Structure 1
Amino acid sequence: MIAIWVASPLWAPLGARKESAVGSTPLRPDVHDGKVVLVTGGGTGIGRAVAIDFASCGARVVVCGRRPEPLEKAAAEIEAAGGTCLAVPANIRAEGEVERVVDTALKAFGRIDVLVNNAGGQFTAPAEEITPKGWRAVHDLAVDAGWAMTREVAVRSMIPNRSGAVFFMAFSPRRGIPGMVHATTARAALENLAAGLSLEWSRYGIRTVCVAPGTIATEGLEAAYDEADRRRWEQAVPLGRLGRPEEVSGLLCFLASPGGSYITGTTITVDGGVDAWGTGHPVPALETEDAPEGAEETL
């Protein structure tokens, strides 16, 4: 088994793996050589990890998002480690911005091989208090802008090249969450978009996959919630901890590699077992001395 793993064209042999300032994926550092990857929401959190890991595997990366500072910081980190990254500040909800981002990427690199639709936003509110403006804000960014970016990239690069991979990031797309009906319906739409496009665009060599992360320990989550909140979330995860951004980005790097070339039209969950448990309540403590203390129901 070990010999097979070492001999794989995808994985870097343990002894030959080089240390790098960025990148955590075990994939070979040349597995994405020549590819161009566009990541929306690429300056922070999961998007930043995705950009870093693809760059560490040889891809040229374009990151876009509303705030220039985190984009430029991520790009500088990638460039300092020997990678290639272009930062394009943009509000992709605004008219003409999707086209401008794609124009910039194509002028710089000539093609786009992988699109990661990671941009999204949300707020918590009872369903009856969600205004039409609030509903549109969430759906405009996640669904409408995501679709616009996907179509633009496909029509201008992937369909002519008869090749491409599109990923939609959608936390818990199949589950209702109190106070989040506007966000969960948007996520469900992305899951169906990935499935439907796979049926239409497979003839062009384009694969579409929905990736559903669980609760991931990003800097945004750390800043917004206290230790007690994080502890309650950990109790709801069978693996007993929150996810790490690189555990999501590593999956995307694999899915975009030759090893993932037969995967399309599906949703892959990365949540530490929460989907199997099927609830946001803490996993019940096992009747052993090692059972966690203080487990209680939480929303």
Structure 2
Amino acid sequence: MTMHVMGTGGASWGDMPEAPAHLLTKDPVKALLYVADPMVREGWATLVGVLGVREALRFASETALLWLRPDVAAAGAVGEVLDRVAEAGFVPVGANIAHLDRGGVRALWWWQLKRATAERLLLLEAVAALGPGLLVLYRHPDGEPADRLTWLKGSNDPEGRPADSLRSVAGSPNRLLTMVHTSDDPLDVIRELAVFLSWRERAELVASAWASSPAGAPVIEAPLAEVRAAYPGCPVPQPTTAGRVPQQRGEAFAAFVRDVAAPRLAQRWAAISAWSRRVPLLNDGSAR
């Protein structure tokens, strides 16, 4: 297979075509919002450049994207989540190390963060800064893998979440430390490949995943080992009974900013866990 970073056929090498969003999501409002999104166009350009239009549509529809976040790696629960995904019949076809910087945090969750507090933004940045996460691409023999994996993921609210959902298996304690991210539908698969990976990383992963026979665990082993090695000696944070930060932040906010930027990994992880249970996540003062 000839791999191109972008462009296809006789088109200009710099083309960034619009994705056929109406074919990639069941949500008509989302299709309208995303059609000109630069991340969608960038991801779609990669798929078309590597596979061509027809196979790009197949790839997006037949692929689920799972990001095992730095908080699940720090908590030492990556293996349990991967085992649960395999138990549900998903087969990995590609994997890559994936880092998010502060811009990536905002790009990934641009819609969800529209009413976020400063504390929520800074906590998500601090989670991302803990280290690498593991990005895994899956297929499922029964089809609609993105929908199936998102359903398996479970709600960000621990109350009433199934015990065998990915977030429950990971030990997600609250709406901030959700441990696991999935792309909701094929349109998000395209967009989030562009959020997580550079042009070349994305093209190489797409090409190898498309060519992959269902190979199972060996696809994951090398990047998984690298992720695990990045979190030595992270203790399991203990639940805190501390109350919420007062509305007048003052010294509390200064302490929060200082704590989540602690120099040692174990200190940062403990601080992130503790503060995630204390601060409001939305500007109405709620934790939702």
Is TM more than 0.5 here? no
TM-score (norm. length: structure 2): 0.34
Kindly indicate which of the two structures has a greater share of residues assigned to strand.
1
TM-score (norm. length: structure 1): 0.33
Higher relative contact order (CA 8 A, sep 6+): 2
